[in-house]
Structure 1
Amino acid sequence: MPHLLHRRLLMGIICAALAAPMPGPAAGQTKTTEADLQRGLEQLVATEGGPPGVIVTLYSDGRMSVLQAGRADVAHSGAPRVGDHMRIASVAKAFNGAVALHLVSKGRLSLDDTIGQRLPGLPPAWSRVTLRQMLNHTSGLPDYLNSDAFIHDVTTHPQRHVLPNDIIGWVRDEPLVFAPGSQYGYSNTDNVVIGLITEAVTGTSYGTLLKEIVFGPAGLRQTSFPTERLDLPSPFIHGYSVEPGSAPQDVTSFISPSGAWASGAIVSTPADLAAFIRADLGLKFFGAAEQQQQMQFVPGSSGPPGPGTNESGLGLFRYTTPCGVVYGHTGNFPGYTQWAAATADGTRSVTTTLNLSAPTGELLERLREVQGQAVCALLSR
């Protein structure tokens, strides 16, 4: 890829990642059939600048329905499948929350523990920030994705492996964005710090904690945390950067996932992602006391925003749609836009996967409408 195109593509991906969440109700009908939802997926793929492919899972009563449109790989026929690997982007933050709340349930951590107590080597200005504030993004920690240092690194060495301390280094000298606890501000730095805290209190690597606390108990056999691997396990859904009027650019392995670490480096499949979100709401990782704390919500959207009205809890969001309420997380990573949610008891789940970088504007609103349709279809089953 010529240098100019290489840089333009990267900057487009970064701009999409930095798009501000936009709360607001998603348009939708109160009764939606799976046929209605299928038409919505096909229209999404047919939209100029839309995703090459999309897959939706709906799970209830022990049965999963799968709806697909488009292609997992533009060079070959075939829609995305439930067993195809993909980058789950910021849905990994829900896994991060599960690990932290598990350690709270075991008495290893408290939601009132501060960065100063657990990681005294981090900037003194961050010392009063609590675990609770990082989990619901009211910490005021600067988001490293907004930093000049991150943008420089990713545009000059996009495939370079970085360590968590390198990520912290991108914003170490920046002040807090606001006083801790005073307002909401989505920050990827929150989850990186949480990951470092879980390592500090257990003496175990974050990747091992994910395996022991989440992947194993939830039976996630196709889910991994490959921060040093650029390619995806086969079979996989290819990720694309899509610009209207241009051929999709494959960015599946364009950027090292190490720069996302605990905020977004997990690889999974649609089937495993659905199983995780049901387990998370179904108290597989922590108890009712922790879930009660988890479901104390403040106004704030995930990034990109999910359907309906978004509110932030501890490691997950509440999405209030015309058809009902579900809980989960969205995410975007170069080439992928994700959403996973479940009912409060964890018995029903919905996931949506698009193989393009985070949409904006009209395409984003169309996606949110489709997600709202998916909730309606799920809750009417």
Structure 2
Amino acid sequence: MLENRKILLCVSGGIAVYKAVALVSKLSQAGASVKVIMTESAQQFVQPLTFQVMSRNDVYTDTFDEKDSSVIAHIDLADWADLIIVAPGTANVIGKLANGIGDDMVTTTLLAATAPIWIAPAMNVHMYDHAAVKRNLQQLHEDGIRFIEPSEGFLACGYVGKGRLEEPEKITELVKDYFTREHKLSGKKVVVTAGPTRERIDPVRFLTNFSSGKMGYAMAGAAAEMGAETILISGPVSLPVPSGVTRIQVESAEDMLKAVEAHFDTANYVVKTAAVADYRPKAIANQKMKKQEGGSTIELERTVDILKQLGQQKKNQVLIGFAAETNDVSKYAKEKLTRKNADYIIANDVSEAQAGFESDTNRVTVFGKNDFEQAFDMMPKQQLARQLFEMITDKEESYDS
């Protein structure tokens, strides 16, 4: 299943190094070409020769030990890999990478890499829960690095808890699934809208909403990972741009409509996650409006309904809308599906804990044509985004066949 796939395994020092040996074996048996880099600490647990025998490739341990004088080893390895896995990922290597430190063969290669990087953390449960380690994990997450969460179980130090390296069989299955799904959107163009819009009242005030943009950015990141040319049209949020995504920054509903229409005709999928303002001030003051005694009234007018307008214009595009509701979720989502001429409406109850605008997790139900309905359990938004695209692309392929 992994034939012709090139996987670079970076092994850092911890008792779980022995599992990395088994991981090389499993990946190689699945057809992958595996090369290994070891830190000095990792070599205290397992000799490089063990990995050399299992991978049938040279093992790299020293930045200055150039095995081929025609290339620079750490750059060549970084360019060679289709996927890079750090296993076990110790607190030390996680901290170095989070802070851009390249002081050995592993870290210099990771800093030079453009391939996706997965880290499988493995450490004592208290280390894993330390504030500094949590900060470093969060930074790497924001940098676009994916984590294979450690299992809970007996640790070498005697504690029971989160900290064990995930089993080699499970990591191998995740790698197989990744490459199976990797090109699902190859050759496709995906346009995603995300975040809130702002409708100006005067030079210092505006109308907006609580949208964080997290779901939209997750959808854009998932589309890019699956091979799509991805355009992210974003309202004002402070989120990092996912790897491989082109972001277009907008402010108002009118700005967002123009940006979407500029790419609509060439799009295969359009995903409307943005929480676009329904109303804007009818008149915008040129100068700051001063306080005055008593109340004040601002006359509002409707903004353009972007999803509805796209539904009227669409030809072969798959149009996906989001519905953030607080009650009667199914009823309103189904009405929106018909009224907006969308292909799918992804609905959630934003009043539910851990499923609202600012949360990192979400629980949704997808509604589609022919009374299609599928619910998804609560999960991280990045994981959910991937599953949503997998489900929708599978569904669209079934319609075409």
Same fold, TM-score > 0.5, yes or no: no
Q: Which has the higher contact order (CA 8 A, sep 6+)?
A: 1
Structure of larger gyration radius: 2
Choose between structure 1 and 2: higher strand proportion: 2
Q: Normalised by the shorter chain, which TM-score bucket? A: under 0.3
